[in-house]
A and B are shown apart, each in its own frame.
Chain A
Amino acid sequence: MASAATVAASGVASKARAQQAEVPAGAKIGIPAGETSSVSFKVNGQDQTLSVDNRTTLLDALREHLHLTGTKKGCDHGQCGACTVMVDGRRINSCLSLAIMHEGDEVVTIEGLGEPGKLHPMQAAFVKHDGYQCGYCTPGQICSSVAVLEEIKAGMPSHVTGDLTAKVAFSLEEIRERMSGNLCRCGAYSNIVDAIADVAGRPA
């Protein structure tokens, strides 16, 4: 485990081109010097190069730097899933990831899935099944939903998968388990599952 952590850490360091900023006054009393780094990644197919504070999360880079505010901040702690985006095809909580860790990555946000008048099938299914109310967890739910169907297709097991050697089968139980990192306080779960089942072509 220690070696894996080291690899991960050095990977980040080599990816991010850290730039020592001018030492601010605060540094004298031991607070973090406001280091910034440049990071380049693709967001929804577009190349982006940002100069960000090293402490900036991917979530805040999207929201505050790129003004892609479809990705929501519900807790900033990895507890609610509202900030779910896809990075290189896998869903992550963007609040638990620093922007500078994503050099060269491909990020897809809710804005990249579809737009008004040109909805992604999952977005359309959420509208059809009323799989939302206030809408704040919705982008995260939709990004997760799209990724969950891919995960099942790719044979990734979950906590409720019975036979780990067999091909993972779509079931409502699998959907509910895999979606449980995305909280919805309005309580649209029953409709969200209907929407996902609709897109998967299965009866809810």
Chain B
Amino acid sequence: MKMRRLAYPYVLWMAVFTVAPLMLVAFYALTAYDADGRLFFTLQGLRNVFATDNTVAFNLFGLADLFGFNLQVPIYINVFAKSLEIALISTVVCLLVGYPAAYILAQHSRKRRGQSNFWLFLFIMPMWMNALLRTYAWLALLEPMGIVNTVLGYLGIGPFQFIYNDFGIGLGMVYNYLPFMVLPIHSVLVKISPSLIEAAEDLGADSTRTFLRVTFPLSLPGILSGINMVFMPAMTTFLIPDLLGGGRYLLIGNAIERQFMVSRDMTTGSALSILLMIFVLASMRILTKYEQESSEGGLLA
């Protein structure tokens, strides 16, 4: 008996359940069923995505307000831009909040070399919890009659509208994905050799300078993979905008979900999925390239 034959059934499985489904998304993006249930080639899905008969004002990061221009774009392009905006802002907030946390955790890990780091463990634990439950927890916390508004009410402020807006969705994303930013940065920081820092100090650099010129550049690969791990799910989630946006909010994730589950328009849904997938893979690719470059150029190459 040839042992390698044991791998063959899986190759078939993989072809059917991994490769074929992705190709079908591309296939359905370019086809539709006619009245007799026959498939025919169509560009209608792509045309719907880029339809110019239903346009809205483009205002990424409020740029249009800032510069006072009026650019009309197809509605899905605007949804895409809105998703990009919220995903980018969430990623930046994750980085700003997460980097110090990763730095402190790394200092802690170094001190307890070899032993498992309890604080790190506490950081990872929420990651294991279902994104649905985590998001729901915020919904219960932030809703108009929720606990935060009640406490603020005792203090005589509020109530505030925390959910069903950009703020709520961004908060949901930061909460869900913060550990994805902290862990890669932490694991890079822990690996930086203490002698490099000592050397910098011996050569007369103060701690700020040491951080800016030695530690931070060496942690860039961790930052890039953190950005990658936060940006991708933030760009594609449909759960967070759906629950924290109260179902009224359209980001690219729930636009796709609605095409499939509500409008039952597979063609447009597939076209949107393909475009999203290409966008996400392309941005991952660019980031990975930077990651390689920055780690090659580093001291520890």
Q: Do these two chains really belong together in a complex?
A: no
User: Which residues of B are at the interface with A, using a C-beta cutoff of 8 A?
Assistant: none
User: Which residues of A are at the interface with B, using a C-beta cutoff of 8 A?
Assistant: none
